Structure 1
Amino acid sequence: MRTRTALPLKVLTPDLAQSLRTFNDAARLLQRMGVRLHRLEPTEGRVTIAADDARQLLEKGYLMGFQRDASAGSTRYITRFQGITLAWSEPISYRDFAGSKPVIH
């Protein structure tokens, strides 16, 4: 009777390895730039950062645009940076609308 040798389960595929390498490189670059990383999601390729840090990246030209999604109480921003997705959110304040004139329909 033959005995079976357990083979190690290979979970890290070449595609996943490349994705994680890209994620780690981008996250480390953000840290070297002084950006505060609030949430790391390596399998999704997404990092959530502080809104102040996102504004600085935009001002310095490291980010070339973003997608904005407003929801109750905050606005969520999403963009791409070095092959990963960067996300941040900012609270919506009544001050954002205090200077605007009411629209009468």
Structure 2
Amino acid sequence: MTTEAKAALRQTLEAAAAKTADEIAQLEPQLEPIAPDCCLGELTRSELMGEQEVAAKAYEAALRRKNRLAYALSRIDAEAFGVCEACDEAIAPARLALMPEATLCVACANERGE
């Protein structure tokens, strides 16, 4: 991978990390406990709890992505960056453009069901 490509990918990773941090910040208030007597118009407490569960899943996914992005940023200068951890083949630039935190090529990711 060229120096210019790594620089562009670093910018993509940093932008994705910032966006993910914003998503996490927006989801955190939705994880607050719901008061037993809370009712907003037609929404019942159980509906609010269902929405909170959805927010919790999104929050967990955002935290996982944040960690993967931080890992990618920590190793972007390594020679092995952009190389599949399973088969040691280069990860396609198009895949890295869409998923800059990818550590597996498409074939290996499909084999693992990721």
TM-score > 0.5 by shorter chain: no
Q: Larger % of helix: which?
A: 2
Q: Larger % of strand: which?
A: 1
- More relative contact order in 1 or in 2 (CA 8 Å, sep 6+)? 2
Structure whose CA Rg is larger: 1
**Structure 2 length normalisation: TM-score?**
0.28
**Structure 1 length normalisation: TM-score?**
0.30
